[in-house]
Homo-oligomer: A and B are copies of this chain.
């Protein structure tokens, strides 16, 4: 994740700042992005800001309109369903390959990542946002490691991009109370099946895991008519 590797260029900083602003909601879906504001936000000149926007556009976080600048990519149920469907396909296959090729080192990293994640609370309201941020990172690590042994860099990269792209939607789902889901349990089950080398059921569990998150967000959309 480019966010964490601290950038050695201003353009990298700008990318991180704007990316975070979009994910946090400071810059809202559909909002037009003016260079003047972004320069103020990032504290730099137009060149690195523009470079950041070009990169964000390539990754689907912003959209560009020639000579009319950039705006934050809008959210939609259609995109959510598309992202989830594609993730089920890609990560499902990546997990299957990981289970096929993974060695004991992979198993160890998986166990470790899950352990760290399970030690953090997820949705306590009194939880400081820093901790919630931390949970997000661990959660991302867990899913990353799950597919890390698939031996296909392209697949990994695509899954990573979709994961980040799904993040804006995932943040909405957290605000849904009483989901009657035990997310921790779902993760545990996926891991157990993976370690058992039960590819079929592990893939099915992973797909179900994503579908449930999608369903939760979709319900939220429909009730709030947030779109």
Q: Which residues of A are in contact with B by a Cβ distance under 8 Å?
A: 7-9, 12, 47, 50-51, 54-55, 58-59, 66-67, 79, 82-83, 85-86, 89-90, 93, 152-155, 158, 162
- Count the copies: 2
Task: List, in ascending order, chain B residues with CB within 8 A of A154's CB.
Answer: 79, 82-83, 86, 162
Alpha-carbon gap, A85 to B155, bound state (A): 9
CB nearest to A86 among chain B residues: B154
Contact of A12 among B50, B66, B79, B90 (CB under 8 A): B66
Q: Which residue of B lies closest to A54 (CB)?
A: B54
Give the secondary structure class of A's interface: helix
Besides A8-B66, A58-B58, A58-B59, 9 more A-B contacts (Cβ < 8 Å) are A12-B66, A51-B51, A54-B54, A55-B58, A79-B154, A86-B152, A86-B154, A86-B155, A89-B89
Some 14 contacts from A to B, beta carbons below 8 A apart, are: A7-B66, A9-B66, A47-B47, A50-B51, A51-B54, A54-B54, A79-B153, A82-B154, A82-B155, A83-B154, A85-B152, A86-B155, A90-B90, A154-B162
Chain B min CB distance to A35 (Å): 14
Give Cα distance in the complex from A93 to B152, angstroms.
18
Residues of B within 8 A of A89 (CB): 89-90, 93, 155
Find the residue from A47, A79, A83, A152 having the highest chain B CB count within 10 A: A152
